[in-house]
Amino acid sequence: MNTYQSRAEIPENEKWNMEDIYPSLETWEEDYRRIEEMTMKFKQYDGAIHDGTSLYLYLSEKEEVSSTFNLVYVYGMLQADVDTRDIAAQSLVDRAKQLAVKLNAATSFFMPYLLSLEEHTLREFIEQEPRLDYFEQDLFEAYRYKEHVLSKEKEEILSHLGEALSAPSQTYNMLNNADIKFGEVTTDDGDKVELTRGMYSKLIEDDDRNKRQEAYKSYYQPYLQLKNSLASTLAANIKTNVTLARLRNYPSALEKGLFGDMVPKEVYENLIAATKANIAPLHRYTTIRKEKLAVEELRQYDLNVPLVNGVKIEISYDDAYETILEALTPLGEEYVNTLKTFKEARYIDVRETPGKRSGAYNLGVYGVHPFVLLNQHDDLDSMFTMIHEFGHAMHSWYSSSHQPRISAGYSIFVAEVASTVNEVLLINYLLNKETNEAIRKHLLNHFIDQFRGTFYTQVMFAEFEKITHELAESGKPLNVAVFNQTYESLFRQYNGDEVVFDDEVKYGWSRIPHFYRPFYVYKYATGFASAIHIAEKLLAGDQATLKAYLDFLKSGSSDYPLELLKKTGVDLTTPEPINNALKRFDQLVTEFSSI
């Protein structure tokens, strides 16, 4: 693997071409000034929208400015991400953020105004001005919230309380990211060093069980020390969600959380029920893990170590790209040929360099193209990361190519479908091609553990959220003891009786930042199950599913997520997609145990 000390060493075709957004800083500055001028102009619309024409003029100018602002912000963000030490790039981001504050302030009058209109008045405006057809769906989507919007005075009070209401989340973030100090671990040289999150993710997969145990105990140490403070922040966050749901006339906090995607609570409940009805294969895998590791007692710190020793798959970026293109042939020529062009067109920033943002992402920029950030390590994990992000990138490309700007974006609910379909196609391709049994077993182990983490664990988290919010809604106390008892019980139900509990297990709730973004994690599981369902049909050569899936990728946000998925044959209002995915997990575990 190449190790680069600066971006100057990296070949041009492995770096983003930022000129695709702006050919020069001068053109960026021109757009920046234009947005500032337009922002001032928006104030003249406050109190002056009285008919369809004035409504259309405001909305069309707002869309144009928002679109330009997106380019201004993204240009700075992408440059800052490739080198977080770059002061000039960070300055562009800071200036864009300041501009966003001005833009939001200048347009904040509009939503209260819109929701003050009677529905028949809005319909009259649309009849008067045919050009409003373009905005109709978004206008009535905002209208859908009308019964959950309070009086102007109450909304103003809530807006002033915004910072206070977000305090539990902010406090947790500060504790979890800034203040927490993990315990020490022993290096290979015998020195003691303070554990970091990055070190933990590696050590918890180490072959040496003593290293895993030491890392596990050190990692949980601050969470146990801060247990009462962390329970207080989580309880406050849950109670805030419950209170806001009541104030805004939602039947429950869960239904408030699902409202934006128009997902009925039955989908959430079906997910949990179907998963628990099909929990036996996960318990079987836990038993296999215990046998394979040859331990008398299976502990939580044994659940992430790979079960196949001595398999290290190295694959260069170029070879990985070719393998990915071959693996994705079930998606058809257009998909594969389009993705092939991304490489030379410099849509991908490939290499890890000092100061570059960690991880990977795709950012679809309407009117330009997708931008994919990688930190390539020329190994199997890197190839799976690539194909995952390419799934998002192709979703962005298809949606932007086939949708107008207003509906080109897609919701988080469907986002993980496109990335996971790609991963399933890759694992299937590699398994079909590979004859070395150790490597085949390693690939199966990789997929099973991904399935466990992205599906089962997220459903367990989703059930924890549901239970704790229902406790708050019924006036029951929320504290360390309640959180511990709830989490420990769920961990036992999902992972089975083979796991012997250390004291740390029951404090798992204290380290999950997603709990401060209520009713979000279930989307990982529904997206994963939907992708398994679709990929199985694609691999069987089902041409109707292929057409429906490509249409889904082209759909952006032109319909609600559940409706978009139904067109691919995935109906999440029934248990079928979840059951099919879990049947696949059962097959994977059976195959793994038979090799």
Element (H, E) at 362: strand 361-364
Amino acid at 43: K
Residue 250 pLDDT > 60, yes or no? Answer: yes
| Burial class of residue 235, CB neighbours in 10 A (0-12, 13-18, 19+) | buried
- Give the pLDDT of residue 487: 98
Answer yes or no: are the C-beta atoms of 301 and 213 closer than 8 Å.
yes
For 114-127, the pLDDT digits (tens) are 988 999 999 999 99
Amino acid at 304: N
Would strands 370-376 and 348-351 be described as parallel, antiparallel, or unpaired? parallel
pLDDT tier, 201 (very low <50, low <70, confident <90, very high otherwise): confident
More confident residue, 509 or 106: 509
Residue 162 pLDDT > 80, yes or no? Answer: no
More confident residue, 27 or 356: 27
User: Between 457-473 and 265-277, two packed helices, what is the crossing angle to 10 degrees?
Assistant: 130
Residue 471 pLDDT > 70, yes or no? Answer: yes
- Domain limits, the chain: 7-149
Among 411, 375, 418, which Cα is nearest to 394's?
A: 418
Task: Identify the CATH number of the domain defined by range 7-149.
Answer: 1.20.140.70
| Burial class of residue 445, CB neighbours in 10 A (0-12, 13-18, 19+) | buried
Amino acid at 207: D
For the chain, give the mean pLDDT.
Answer: 93
Q: What average pLDDT does the segment 348-362 reach?
A: 89
Provide the residue count of the chain.
595
Amino acid at 511: R
For 524-582, the pLDDT digits (tens) are 999 999 999 999 999 999 999 999 999 999 999 999 999 999 999 999 999 999 999 99
- Give the pLDDT of residue 176: 86
Per DSSP (E only), the strands in 410-484 are: none
Residue 1 pLDDT > 60, yes or no? Answer: no
Answer yes or no: are the C-beta atoms of 201 and 453 closer than 8 Å.
no
% pLDDT > 70, the chain:
99
Query: How far apart are alpha carbons 392 and 8 in whole angstroms?
Result: 28
| Burial class of residue 468, CB neighbours in 10 A (0-12, 13-18, 19+) | buried
For 579-593, the pLDDT digits (tens) are 999 999 999 999 999
- Among candidate residues 14, 389, 423, 463, the one labeled active-site is 389
Residue 174 pLDDT > 80, yes or no? Answer: yes
For 280-314, the pLDDT digits (tens) are 999 999 999 999 999 999 999 999 999 988 788 88
For 30-80, the pLDDT digits (tens) are 999 999 999 999 989 999 999 999 999 999 999 999 999 999 999 999 999
Query: How far apart are alpha carbons 16 and 373 in whole angstroms?
Result: 9
Answer yes or no: are the C-beta atoms of 238 and 478 closer than 8 Å.
yes
More confident residue, 379 or 467: 467
- Give the pLDDT of residue 2: 62
Query: How far apart are alpha carbons 480 and 28 in whole angstroms?
Result: 51
Element (H, E) at 172: helix 167-173
Residue with tokens 């973030």: 173
For 204-232, the pLDDT digits (tens) are 989 999 999 999 999 999 999 999 999 99
Q: What average pLDDT does the segment 354-378 reach?
A: 92
Q: What average pLDDT does the segment 364-383 reach?
A: 93
Q: Count of CB atoms within 10 A of residue 10's CB?
A: 17
Among 339, 534, 526, 318, which Cα is nearest to 425's?
A: 534
Could you confirm whether 434 is annotated as catalytic?
no
Query: What separation in angstroms does the CA of 580 have from each of 425, 445, 533?
Result: 16, 20, 7
What is the side-by-side order of every strand in the sheet holding 361-364?
348-351, 370-376, 361-364
